[in-house]
Amino acid sequence: MKFSYVVLYVSDMEKSVSFYRDIIGLECERRYVEEDGVETAFMVTPGAQPMFGQPMIELVSGMPNMPTAQSGKLFGFTVDDLEKTIQLLKEGSYPLLKGPYSPDPSCTIYEYRGPDGERIGVMNMKGALENV
């Protein structure tokens, strides 16, 4: 068995695509609007094939009676440059919820609130950072 995707219901598609692309580092592989106005965007690791190479995030907006993203789930991302990602989150006024913490000496994790209130974990695998 292999994990393929998670659906995240968002209130502002532009803001969410921008967040996952510009801060987290994913790319929008495909985006479309259905006849009923529901919009979907598939966010993947750059160069990955959705559902074949690596897991993806499927962003969905405009759905009637749409669930919210604030239900306590945490989406974790390993980022190439943790300091740069933290700076972008600060500049975007995304609130820090927790961190830094290191469940293992090889990684450092920070948790933030994303654009729809979802919990976003960002981490590196190089060891603890100092003075972030």
3-state helix, strand, coil in the chain (%, to 5): 15, 35, 45
Confidence of residue 128 (pLDDT cuts 50, 70, 90): very low
Task: Check residues 66 and 121 and name the one with the higher pLDDT.
Answer: 121
Residue 68 burial by CB count (10 A; 0-12/13-18/19+): exposed, middle or buried? Answer: exposed
More confident residue, 108 or 2: 108
Over 69-131, what HEC string results?
CCCCCEEEEECCCHHHHHHHHHHCCCCEEEEEECCCCCCEEEEEECCCCCEEEEEECCCCCCC
As a whole number, the mean pLDDT across the chain is 84
Most confident region among 16-20, 64-68, 115-119 by mean pLDDT: 16-20
Residue type present at position 79: V
pLDDT at 86 over 60: yes
CA distance 71 to 108: 24
